[in-house]
Structures are given as structure tokens and as C-alpha cells.
Amino acid sequence: MTQLVMPKIDKKILSNKETIVKKLKEITNSNNVLSHESELIPYETDALTAYKQIPLVVALPETTHEVSEILKYCNNEKIKIVPRGAGTGLSGGALPLEDSIVLNLGKFNKILEVDFGNRCVVVQPGVTNLAITKAVQHKGFYFAPDPSSQIISSIGGNVAENSGGVHSLKYGTTTNNILGVEVVLMDGTICRFGGKTYDSEGYDLLGLISGSEGLLGVITEITVEIKKNPQTVKAALIGFPTIEDGGNCVSSIIAGGIVAAGMEMMDKVLIEATDNFSKAGYPRDAQALLIVELDGTKSDVDELINKVSEIAKKNNATSLKISNNEEERLKFWAGRKAAFPACAAMSPDYYCMDGTIPRGRLAEVLKEINRLSKKYDLPVANAFHAGDGNLHPIIMYDANKEKSLEKAEEFGADILKYCVKVGGVLTGEHGVGVEKRELMCEMFNDNDIQQQLRIKKALDYNSLLNPGKVYPILKKCVEEGRARVHRGE
């Protein structure tokens, strides 16, 4: 396994473990403090799994006051804190440190208020994404952001990583669907940003917290916006003879002014893998598969489906199927939602990347990914939110083979560098974490990074919240960053 460089370990903190555990048990119920190795092992990694580290101790507070007291104590004693949700992150954002307390928000799992009048729901961060929709669907409402992990990923983690999903194209990512948060800062201060209204005075601190990856504060409450179910929803399943044809179809749909609820594409490797796994009935002769979902009134959806069908035919579609009912529509999506487990069935290990590019460069970037696949001699399957340019190349490798993980990491880094080169960014929804940390210099120069760190310092002066994440640690990366301008151009 690659040796991951992390912040220097404070040996004084390690030697004071017994005192720290005792203090935590004074703040919260003693059963909420885990300190034995067997209890700590489940927290040694997140869904990235490539890196592992057992933390010093795990605390599971039950109230905002307890979170505040824990942070206040840790700030005074200079103890590092790693916030953690469901552990489904894919960038190592919840990776512990040897001398850190993992602050698990798993006990913050209640829906506090459902307010249909204001079309919002107030929840604790440990509530799962899908649970929000289940709580309001009896009244014909739903929560729009829907990452593939929505059945298990927590809303607090979704806010921390600004997660998206297949419906991000029309309805936006998490940041576009939250109205307010309660946040505890590192010194124990409890703040509220936003609320039930659609706008608030002052700086957009809600926007600052969204996507901050646990570096600025600990989220203890979230007010999310819910939407009314559309009258009609239909999906088109379209096969193409080449990736280029599929990419051109996406561009043509967008250029035609059609705002689809979602547009997802898969390459041939993933078509076969997901169809084997979910039996979704995908066209196996296609080199690229596009799922286009449209929602709205019945007349609008019918009209848009016809337009999409015409555009698909002009772009050499080899197959076209329209869902006739809800069961069929969900079946279309079943394969795409199962992309990760499908790849797990194909390979002992996989490494999922998360770059975002301008939509018009899709075919070019996929061509480069295929070239890199041959260079590194590692197979890759591609899934992407085609409508908003968010790529998810899934690199398959065997960790039991020497240097296999290193090759996968280098392969992934080259993909992300190319995304930035064509005008894209390092991440769309998975976050930077530790995975993309040393690539930040590909996108930002030293002045850019230092300015972001000043904001971090203003809210967490001693850099105790989730240290070692997002910002480069290796001196070489920072030195190279000074020679670059924004986006590496």
C-alpha cells in the first residue's frame, strides 16, 4: 500500500489517552466513548479503503451541547478532531489520525420537523439521504439530491462533500437544496447559518460550509428543501455505436434547450457489468448507453421525449426505448445505481475517480482515459453524470499484486490532471479528502491555496478540525504550485 503522508503525530496526546477518555466520559455517556482497539477498527477507514489508520478514541455525542463541550475541550488541549458520518465517503475525508478523536455523528439520526407549508424538513446529520424522501413521500414530496449511496449515506456527509447524484443537472447538488445549518466551531461556539427562508442577509456562510469537508465546523442540524413530485416522469434508454456519438447527443440535447431531470452515460464495460449484476435489460451491443430522464406535466414530457428521440436518431442511436411505467423507469436506473457493486463483482478491488469537465470535451477525455488504461495495463469502466460533466472512471486492480494500488493511484491522478487541463476540476461530489490533496496544485497556485487556508485559520486557528485533508502537505507540491497560475495554465 502507498505510504500516505499525514500531519506529525503528537506523542504527548498519545500518552494522555487515559485522561482524554476520562474527560470524554464526563461530557457524554460513557457508553458513547470507544477506546479499545476492537471497538476502533470499524472506524479505521471510509469507503475509499485504500488507506487505514486506527484513531486514538471515538466519541458518539448525542446532543449539540455535547459536541460543543467536546470541541471546546479539544481546542484547549490541542487535540485533533475528525468528524465522521456514515463512512461512505470515497476520498478518505473521514480517515482518522493516530492522535485524533473521531467524532461520529451516528446518534444524530432524528428527523426533527417536517414542514410542508414551507416545503422543508429539519434533520440531524446522521439521517440518511433516502430517509428524507421516505418521510415526505406520502404527501407527494421528495428530496432531490440522490447520490448512488443514498440508501446509506448520511445527509451531514452529503453537505460536507456537496454530494450530487443523477438529478443534479436540473435540481442541483446538495448546496442547492439546503436552506440552513447549525454548526459547532472548533472553539465550541454554536452558530446558525440560514433557516427556512430562501435568502438571508450577510455573507453566504451556508455556501461556505457546504462542501467544506469537515474542516470548518461540525454540522449538527440541517434544514433541507423538499420538492413536489412532478406530474409525469419518463426515461429514455438510448444505445450508441461509439462514445463520441453518445457525447455528441448529450451536447445536442443541452444545446437544444432541453433541461433533463438527469442524463447518465455508461461505456461498454460498465453496460455489461451492470446488466450482469442487475438484469436491467441494457443493449449489450452498444458501445455507449445514455439514460435521459424528463419530468414535468404530461404534455411537456411527451413533447420533450419526442425531441430527445429525434436528437438521438440524428446522432446515430442504435437503440431507443422509452419507459412505459414507473417500474420500467426504475429498472432503467437499476443498473446505473449498481455501478459500484457491479465493478466489485468484476475485480478484487476498484478505485473510483471523480473529475468534472466541460460537457463538450467528454469524448476527448474518454479517449484519453482509454489510452491511460492501456498505458497502466489496468481495466477501467466509465460512468458519468453526462449532463453536468461529472466523470466517475472506475479503475479495477488487485491490491494483492505488488505495486497494483500505486499504478491505480497514478492512473487516477493522470485522469484528474487531464480534467483540469481541458478546463475542468478535480472533483464533482466526492471531495478532495486525502485522495486528491496533492493534486490541488494542478488547479490552484500558492496564493489561491493560502487564501483558502486563511479562511480555515479564521474558524479553526490551530488547524485541529480534520487536519491532513484537502490542502497539500508535501513541500514539493506547494513549491510547484508557486510556479503555476490558476488551473495550471
Concatenating the DSSP letter of every residue in 156-183 gives HHHHHHT---TTHHHH--GGGGEEEEEE
Q: Name the band, by pLDDT with cuts 50, 70 and 90, for residue 387.
A: confident
The b/e string for 203-224 (b: 16+ C-beta within 10 A; e otherwise) is eebbeebbbbbbbbbbbbbbbb
CATH 3.30.43.10 domain range(s) in the chain: 11-104
Type of residue at 242:
T
Q: What is the pLDDT of residue 345?
A: 85
CATH 3.30.70.2740 fits 344-488, yes or no: yes
pTM, 2 dp: 0.92
Q: Which segments of the chain belong to CATH 3.30.70.2740?
A: 344-488
**Res. 479: pLDDT tops 60:** no
pLDDT at 17 over 60: yes
**C-beta pairs of 23-30 under 8 Å, 24+ apart in sequence:** 23/73, 24/57, 24/59, 24/70, 24/73, 24/101, 27/61, 27/66, 27/69, 27/70, 27/73, 28/59, 28/60, 28/61, 28/62, 28/66, 28/70, 29/62
Whole-number Å distance between alpha carbons of 82 and 181: 19
Instruction: Sort strands 57-59 and 100-104 into parallel, antiparallel or unpaired.
Output: parallel
Fold of 11-104: 3.30.43
Would you say residue 474 has pLDDT above 90? no
First to last CA, the chain: 32
- The tens digit of pLDDT for each residue in 25-50 reads 999 999 999 999 999 999 999 998 88
Task: Check whether 96 has a pLDDT greater than 50.
Answer: yes
CA distance 439 to 269: 28
Is the pLDDT at 488 greater than 60? The verdict is no
Highest mean pLDDT among 18-32, 199-213, 237-251, 268-282: 18-32
pLDDT score of 477: 54
CATH topology of domain 111-228: 3.30.465
Helices 243-255 and 298-314, axial angle in degrees (round to 10): 140
Torsion, CA 190, CA 136, CA 161, CA 173, rounded to 10: -120
For the domain 232-341, what is the CATH code? Answer: 3.30.70.3450
Environment class of 400 (CB within 10 Å of its CB; exposed 0-12, middle 13-18, buried 19+): exposed
CB atoms within 10 A of CB 297: 11
* Cβ neighbour number for residue 485 with a 10 Å cutoff: 10
Residues forming CATH 3.30.70.3450 domain(s) in the chain: 232-341
Q: Are 60 and 100 in contact (CB under 8 A)?
A: no
pLDDT of residue 340: 83
Each residue's pLDDT tens digit, 257-315 = 999 999 999 999 999 999 999 999 999 999 999 999 999 999 999 999 999 999 999 99
Residue 482: per-residue pLDDT? 44
Sequence-ordered list of residues with C-beta below 8 angstroms from that of 427, at least 6 positions apart, any chain: 91, 354, 355, 356, 436
pLDDT of residue 339: 87
Average pLDDT, the chain: 93
Domain with CATH 3.30.465.10 in the chain: 111-228
